[in-house]
Amino acid sequence: MKRYLLYIVIMIAALVATSCGEEIEGPYEPTDDNGGPINLEDSLIDDEANNGEGVSFWDGFLILVITVGFAGLIVWFFIAMVPIKLWFNAKLSKVNISWLLLIKMRWQNIPQAKLINLMVTAYNAGLRTLSLPELMKYYLAKVDLDVVVATMIRAMAANVKDIKFDDMAQLYLRKVDVGAIVHAQINAMNAQIKTSIPELSEFYLAGGNVGDLIKAKNIADNAGDDIKAELDLGRLKKHYLAGGNLKKTIEAYISAKKAKLTGFEFEDICKIDLAGMDVVEAIKPAINPIVVETDGVRGVARDGVELTMKVKVTLRSQIKNIIGGVSADTVLARVNEALATQIGLAQSHTEILQNPYLVADKVENSAAISTSSAYEILSVDVSDIKIGNDVGASLKVARAKAQVEAAKAELILAEEKVQKAMASAFLDGNISVQEYTDIKNKQADTLMRQSLANVDANGWSFRLPSTISG
């Protein structure tokens, strides 16, 4: 192409040279109208008639040099400033680009090939709204035009409405990931979620992940019309920006709704998640109640017989009270306390043995157990019951033994008094040795008879029962 231009310049220079007239050789001799010589003095009368009718060789050469130089300057200017090949390729793709814009791009140090190729790519992809001045403007603003144009082509192919190159470039300058925004918008359109590029961009600038937001909304919409209506994008964005785990929170809410639990809202589930708990695990006891068995609880009925009972407690967590409510261990401690109380209130142990579930029902209906509790008691069932010691009988035996010991102490005191009286009698001469011997023999016979009869001197039996039952 450059060679052709050079040929054209040479041809133009040749035409200019030939138009200057023929060269005049030898001295100039003026003639009259008939061709005869005239006087030189007469020729000076009319100088204007003789001036300019011929050009010297050097004048023609100078004109040729100037013409060639000027033509070369024009060729150099277009070769340096206007990429003819790129311009021609753009014309073939029906992309109209003026030479003045190409010259302006070179002056502003804008890569002509990059922008022209982007224009051609966009036009061939069907994106006809781009203009070269816009590309030049945002190139100088440090916009990654490849990313923005590719995003525009993708959006157009997905039939995303109301999207402009200027808007996308402005979002890029605001540090928005335009690729992620358009991808989320396409997913929202496919899922029939009503949103827009500006709405998603605001959420992105606030620190949100637009992909996670659309996925979470899609999960909620597929859970049913009622949940779809409740969980709009506004509520989901609010929880996400508060630092919540959006995916788990929605899963927990859907599970609770499918289990037909009542008395809670989506915000209650959000509070559990924001408290740092695994919200899915936290609400499992609300969906599937848990069964825990207490340790053996000991109590003494009013007839003095000790009973040991075990119960199985079915607990269901209350979503509203999970945060701040007392734990399952506290509930079980309250159950143990109530069970021991009910055993102690029974008139006899046989009353509990005959109807153990009467005690369980009273424990279940105790209002104090569920106060400020994160769990609701669904049922209390007796799993084991054992009879322990007869505490009343043991107390009676201990009381009897104490009375025996007291009687023996009194007997010893009495015997001491007898011994003193006998000693006084001996000293006073009121009793003889023979009489004293007879008294001791009678006492020995009495003790032998009592030993054979298993009773002591006061008539108390020595034989105690080995076991005492009710």
Work out the pLDDT band at 458, boundaries 50, 70, 90.
Answer: low
Q: What is the pLDDT of residue 325?
A: 80
Mean pLDDT over each residue of the chain, to the nearest integer: 77
Tell me the β-bridge partners of 298.
308
Q: Using an 8 Å Cβ cutoff, are 318 and 373 in contact?
A: yes
The region of weakest confidence among 41-45, 120-124, 390-394 is 41-45
Residue 155 Cα distances to 119, 122, 181, 187, 388, angstroms: 17, 12, 10, 11, 81
Report residue 159 as tokens.
Answer: 């039939």
Average pLDDT, stretch 128-155? Answer: 90
The three-state DSSP-derived secondary structure of 67-81 is HHHHHHHHHHHHHHH
Residues with Cβ within 8 Å of residue 29, at least 6 apart in sequence: 37
Residue 222 pLDDT: 92
Contact 384, 333 (CB under 8 A): no
Least confident range from 3-12, 66-75, 99-108: namely: 3-12
- Match 């340096």 to its residue by tokens: 80
Task: State in Å, rounded, how far the first CA of the chain is from the last one.
Answer: 125
Q: What is the pLDDT of residues 308-359, one digit of tens each?
A: 888 888 888 888 888 878 788 888 888 888 888 877 787 777 777 777 777 7
Secondary structure element (H or E) that encloses residue 297, with its range: strand 297-300
- The confidence score (pLDDT) of residue 456 equals 57
Q: What is the pLDDT of residues 184-241, one digit of tens each?
A: 999 999 999 999 999 999 999 999 999 999 999 999 999 888 899 899 999 999 999 9
Kindly report which listed range (126-140, 185-199, 233-247, 427-441) carries the lowest average pLDDT score.
Answer: 427-441
Tokens representing 94 are 């029906």
The answer to which of 94-108, 202-216, 416-430 has the lowest mean pLDDT is: 416-430
Break the chain into its structural domains and give their ranges: 130-287, 301-392
Assess contact for 146 and 118: CB atoms under 8 A: yes
* pLDDT tens digits along 53-91: 455 667 777 777 777 777 666 666 665 556 667 777 777
Give me the architecture of the 301-392 domain, per CATH. 2-Layer Sandwich (3.30)
Decide: 191 and 221 in contact? Cβ < 8 Å.
Answer: yes
| Beta-bridge mates of residue 287 | none
Alpha-carbon span 202 to 278, nearest angstrom: 29
CB 282 within 8 A of CB 321: no
Please tell me the predicted confidence (pLDDT) of residue 91: 79
Closest CA to 147 of 112, 113, 182, 187: 182
pLDDT score recorded for residue 27: 47
| Confidence at residue 26, expressed as pLDDT on a 0 to 100 scale | 44
CA-based nearest residue to 89, from 131, 111, 121: 121
Count Cβ atoms below 10 Å from residue 354 Cβ, excluding itself.
Answer: 9
φ, ψ (nearest 5 deg) of residue 291: -115, 125
For position 142, what pLDDT does the model report? 92
